[in-house]
Amino acid sequence: MYKKLNSKIKIALIFDLDGTLIHSLPDMHLAINKTLEEFNLKKITEKQLGLFVGQGMLRLSERVVKFCDGDESLICPVYNSYRRNYSDVPYKFSTFMKGVHVTLKKLSEKNIPLSICTNKRQFVTEKLLKQMKVNHYFKTIVGAQDGVPLKPNKAMIEKVIKNLNLKNHSFFMIGDTFNDVEAARLSGIKSVFVKGGYSERSVENFKADFTLNEMSELLSLLNV
């Protein structure tokens, strides 16, 4: 069991998106299978696709093509098709991860600065958050964009921190994969790993500062 934080510490929270706040896999699955049908490749299960999420759409496309026994020459066409399909419909079957909605509401009521740092593309992230009616909770949103390396590189977290321009705050990165934990470590901030997301690795290998079974436990950890 984790030790609760000192309630006098000024905190700012940075959230991953897919598998952390939102169960977006159903809509990713819809989009990728539409693409696979287009290229006459075998379809993939939602569970298997979940193991490929977290490193951006290009890397996901590479792994899907390889899994489906497609030729390497198909990676870029599959990537472009998948990106288009998902951008068109990012929110049809997606839902909030367990405990997320009540947690965001409570944190917002406590005036704790909340932000997003995700390897999902910037405009798709903004579109999805708006469609799910939670965009108002976040002071800054940093998604995949030109010139900014993806997590586990620290660049995206540093961009979030720079955008916020907060003084005397302790930052926490909250996510469901090694990329989130490692990006936090490289940035010199605390990491919070939330179980039940899209990680393909055992939690014991992560060495996160804190580990939660589900998002609502964050409230207890932060003592809010």
Output the domain CATH number for residue 39: 1.10.150.240
Q: Which of 88, 118, 136 is the last residue of a domain?
A: 88
1 lies in some domain: no
Which pair of tokens denotes residue 182? 């490692």
Q: What is the pLDDT at residue 202?
A: 66
3 lies in some domain: no
Q: What is the pLDDT at residue 31?
A: 97
Do 36 and 78 have their domain in common?
yes
- C-alpha span between 90 and 31 (Å, rounded): 9
Q: pLDDT tens for residues 137-178?
A: 999 999 999 999 999 999 999 999 999 999 999 999 999 999
C-alpha of 138 from chain center: 14
pLDDT at 58 over 80: yes
Domain containing 81 equals 25-88
Do 209 and 125 have their domain in common?
yes
Q: Which of 49, 67, 88 is the last residue of a domain?
A: 88
pTM over 0.75: yes
Residue 2: which pLDDT band, with cuts at 50, 70 and 90? low
Q: In this structure, what CATH number is given to the domain that contains residue 156?
A: 3.40.50.1000
Residue 37 burial (CB count, 10 A): 11
Q: How many domains does the chain have?
A: 2
111 lies in some domain: yes
Do 131 and 56 have their domain in common?
no
pLDDT at 123 over 70: yes
Instruction: Classify residue 112 by burial, with Cβ atoms within 10 Å: 0-12, 13-18, 19+.
Output: middle
Cα pseudo-dihedral 8, 12, 14, 19, rounded to 10: 40
Residue 203: which pLDDT band, with cuts at 50, 70 and 90? low
